[in-house]
Amino acid sequence: MNKSIVSIVKTPQNPIYEHIFSAVERAVDLAGGIREYVKPGQRVLINPSWVTAVTRKEQAVITLPEVSRAVADIVKNAGARPIIAESSAIGIDSEKVIAESGYQKLRNMGYEVVDLKNTETVMIPVPNGKIFKEIQSFRPVQEADAIIPVAKLKTHDQMELTMSIKKLKGLLSDKYKREFHQQGVFQACVDWYEAISPRLCVVDAVYCQEGLGPIFGKPVEMDLIVAGSDGVAVDAVCGFIVGFDPEEVPITREAAARGLGVAKKEEIEVVGESIESVYRRFMRVLEDERIKIEGFNLVYGDATCTGCRMGIMSSLFDMKEADQLMYLPGVAVVTGDPEIPEAVAQQDLVTVGRCVPREKRSQRHVKGCPPNNLDIVQAIIGDRDRAERRWE
Ligand code: SF4
C-alpha cells in the first residue's frame, strides 16, 4: 500500500523570513518537491488565511505573510506564476487585512496579492458534491492551474480545528460562505475540497491558537511547517501533533470517509520531525475558561458563520475589558437558526444577526450581517450601562 507522505519541519524560535523559507522549502522537498505539483508557466493560486485584520503576528490569527511569501518564491523558482489570493470572513474588508497584517509589504515588493472580493464571481461545478452541485467562487480561482492552501493551525469553536480543507472556504463569495453554514458546513467544505482538488497543502504552524480559536484563542508558538499533497493526511497529522484524533474533527473525518485521502496513522508516512518529537496537546474550545460565566447561555445554530461567531466573541471580550461581565448572568445570546432554550424568558433573550428567522427574533434582536459589536453589547446590557469598543 502506498502511504501518503506528510512532512514536518521545525523552524528556530521567533523565525525571520530566511528561516521560514528554508523550512517551507525543506517541507515541500520532503513532500515530493515543487516540480511534482507545479509546472513552468502555470498560474498557481496560493491561498492563505486572512480571516480578519490583526497587527501582531504572535496573535496567530492569519497565515504569516512570510509563509505565503516562501511558498510564492518556491513556486516562482519552479518557473510558475504565484498569485497570493483570499477573501476574508463575511463582512470583513480583505484590503484592510492586506494593509494591516503585513501583506501590503509583499505587494510593495512586487508579489501579486489579490483581494478576491474585488474580482468577478463565477460558478464552479462540483460534480460529486453531496450538498452543492456548483459553488460561487472567483475568476482567479477558476483560472488557476493549481491551488495551494496555506492554512494556519488553530482550534475552532465549530470545527474543532481549522487546517487545509476548512481553509479553502476563503475562496468562496460571501454569499456562499453564508450558504455553507446554512446547508451543512462540514459536508460543504468537503464538497469544495474535492471540486478544486489542491495540488499541495502547506500549513503555517509557527504561531498557532488553542482554546477559543479561530480568533480569540490563546497563542502557542509551535515553530512548525507541515506539508503534503494529501490534504486529509496533512490535516490528520496536524491534528495528531496537537492531540486531536481525526475522528474528533468533522471535516477530516468526512473527507477520509469519502475516500479523498487518508487519516489513519498507519496509512501516513511522516517525514522530517516525528509527531512525538513536536507533540503538544492543545486546549479544546470548551476548556478555555476566559469567558465562561455561570448563568450565561451562548447558543450557536448550525447556520452561524464566522461573522457572527467573531462578532459575539469580540463583544464578550469588549465587555470583559470594560468590566461589564456582571451583566451576562441570566442572559441567553442566540445566533444562526438554533432551538431557542425553553427555560429562557423573552426579556432575557438576545437574538443576533440576519440568519435568525423572523419568528424567533426577540425584542432585543440585533440586526445586521454581520452585526455590529456595539449593538450586541448594548443589547446584552440594555439600559444598565453603555457599550464600549475595546477589542480591535
Ligand atoms: S447573520 Fe451572522 S451567521 Fe448569518 S451570515 Fe451574517 S454573519 Fe453569518
What pLDDT is stored for residue 389 in this prediction? Answer: 64
Dihedral, CA of residue 228, residue 216, residue 356 and residue 95, to nearest 10: -70
265 falls within a domain: yes
Give the integer Cα–Cα distance in Å for 253 and 251.
Answer: 5
Distance 224 CA to ligand 1 centre (A): 33
Kindly state the average pLDDT of the residues 111-133. 97
Residue nearest to atom 4 of ligand 1 (CA): 355
Which residue lies with its CA nearest to atom 8 of ligand 1? 305
The residue whose CA has the least distance to atom 3 of ligand 1 is 304
Predicted structure pTM score: 0.90
Please compute the mean of the pLDDT values over residues 278-303 and round it to a whole number.
90
Nearest CA residue ID for atom 5, ligand 1: 178
* Whether residue 274 is found in the same domain as residue 314: no
Same domain, 163 and 228: yes
Of 237, 255, 278, which residue is a domain's last? Answer: 278
Residue 284 placed within a domain: no
Residue 235 confidence (pLDDT) above 60: yes
Q: Tell me, what's the pLDDT at 96?
A: 95
pLDDT of residue 168: 98
* 98 & 242 share domain: yes
Domain count, the chain: 2
CA distance linking residue 240 with residue 235, whole number of Å = 9
Any ligand 1 atom below 6 A from CB of 355: yes
What does the mean pLDDT of the chain come to? 94
Which whole-number Å values give the CA distances from 264 to 32, 37, 76, 342, in the listed order?
Answer: 20, 24, 34, 41
Domain interval for residue 327: 291-384
pLDDT in tens, 251-279: 999 999 999 999 999 999 999 999 999 99
Q: Is the CB of 353 under 6 A from ligand 1?
A: yes
Same domain, 254 and 295: no
Is pLDDT of 307 > 90? no
In the listed set 278, 300, 320, which residue is the last one of a domain according to the structure? 278
Q: What is the mean pLDDT of residues 235-262?
A: 97
For range 383-390, the mean pLDDT: 81
pLDDT computed for residue 321 by the predictor: 85
212 and 92 in one domain?
yes
The mean per-residue pLDDT over the stretch 199-204 comes to 97
The residue whose C-alpha atom lies closest to atom 2 belonging to ligand 1 is: 308
What pLDDT digit, counting tens, does each position of 11-33 carry? 999 999 999 999 999 999 999 99
Distance from the CA of 98 to the center of ligand 1, in angstroms?
23
Both 318 and 204 in a single domain?
A: no
Q: What is the mean pLDDT of residues 195-222?
A: 96
Q: Is 354 in the pocket of ligand 1 (CB under 6 A)?
A: yes
Give the pLDDT band (50/70/90) at residue 338: confident
Residues 266 and 351 in one domain: no
Q: Which atom of ligand 1 lies nearest, measured to the CA of 303? A: 3
Same domain, 305 and 218: no
Q: Which SS3 state, helix, strand or coil, does residue 258 take? A: coil
Give residues with Cβ within 8 angstroms of 301, minimum separation 6.
334, 335, 336, 337, 338, 355, 356
Is the minimum distance from the CB of 178 to ligand 1 under 6 angstroms?
Answer: yes
Report whether pLDDT(378) > 70. Answer: yes
Dist. CA 90–CA 304, nearest whole Å: 11
Query: Ligand 1 centroid vs 243 CA: distance in angstroms?
Result: 31
Examine the fold and report which residue of 278, 310, 329 is the final residue of a domain before the chain moves on. Answer: 278
55, part of any domain: yes
CATH, residue 256? 3.40.50.11440
Q: With contact defined as beta carbons under 8 Å apart, do 226 and 166 qualify? A: no
b/e map of 80-116 (b: 16 or more CB within 10 Å)?
Answer: bbbbbbbbbbbbbebbebbeebbbeebeeeebbbbbb
Residue 356's pLDDT is: 94
Please indicate, yes or no, whether residues 114 and 188 belong to a single structural domain of this protein: yes
Whether 389 is in a domain gets the answer no
pLDDT digits (tens, 9 = 90+) for 182-194: 888 999 999 999 9
* Per-residue confidence (pLDDT) for residue 306, from 0 to 100: 85
52 and 172 co-located in one domain: yes
Nearest CA to 368 out of 319, 302, 307, 316 is that of: 307
Residue 392 within a domain: no
